[in-house]
Amino acid sequence: MKTKIFLSGASGRMGIQIQSLLEQHQDFSLSEILDRDSLLRPVVKQADVWIDFSHDDFLFSLLEKMQKEKKFPALLSGTTNLSEKTNLELRKYATMAPVLWTPNTSLGVSVVESLFPLLASLKDYHWSLQET
């Protein structure tokens, strides 16, 4: 049985890449694809997982809509710069479904973040990191 994916932010850089990756795997199917132009219509299809790489206001509207329609797929969101109201709505949604929110999913950022405790433990050094 395929895992049904609902993708919001489908027309953005990450959305396009995720669509391309999902099309290469037989275990997944895209059950719903939304971007800003499709927000007005109801989310009618069921999904197992909701992947979101959209914008703050779009995510907020979708969180409200999903709750009104009583649809609670697990959510992975990489949307950045969330407002306080969206953060609160995301926390509310997390009481109804599993949620993983990470503002940056790149391997480079994860590696750098794991280095911080080690670098902080080295006294008398000044560190500067540059992404290339």
DSSP 3-state of 79: coil
List CB contacts of 21: < 8 A, sequence separation 6 or more.
none
CA angle 83, 71, 59 (to 5 degrees): 20
Rg (CA), the chain: 17
- What pLDDT, in 10s, does the model give residues 73-126? 999 999 988 999 999 999 999 999 999 998 776 777 778 778 888 888 888 888
Q: What pLDDT score does 41 carry? A: 60
Distance CA 49, CA 57 (A): 20
